Amino acid sequence: MKNELDSKFLLRVFDKIRQHGEKENEQYKLLGITAYTDHDGYTLFIEDVHVKLRFGFHNKYHFDYESNSHLEGFEKKLKKIEKEY
């Protein structure tokens, strides 16, 4: 994810969070990661306490984070979810 986000990876992880995570209102939580969509379902949001990822149409995405270590930790959590669930 450092240079370019793999959209298929992200969609798989999002689906696993929805399948195996705890639902709170319209959000799903798994291993410290929260996943949800906007009202029309076209934009996905995946976040933890330090990183927010917005992923939408045409595989466009935006990360919001303060340090590279936060982004690396976020990436590790996503890979763990993909591997373990």
| 18-61 tens-digit pLDDT | 999 999 999 999 999 999 999 988 999 999 999 999 999 888 99
Beta bridge partners of 48: none
Query: Is pLDDT of 3 > 50?
Result: no
Secondary structure E strands in 1-77: 22-24, 27-30, 33-37, 44-47, 52-55, 61-64
Q: Is the pTM of this model over 0.85?
A: yes
pLDDT at position 4 is 65
- What is the Cα 22 distance to its own chain's centre? 15
- For residue 64, the one-letter residue type is D
Which residues lie closer than 8 Å to 48 by C-beta, 6 or more apart?
32, 33, 34, 73, 74, 77
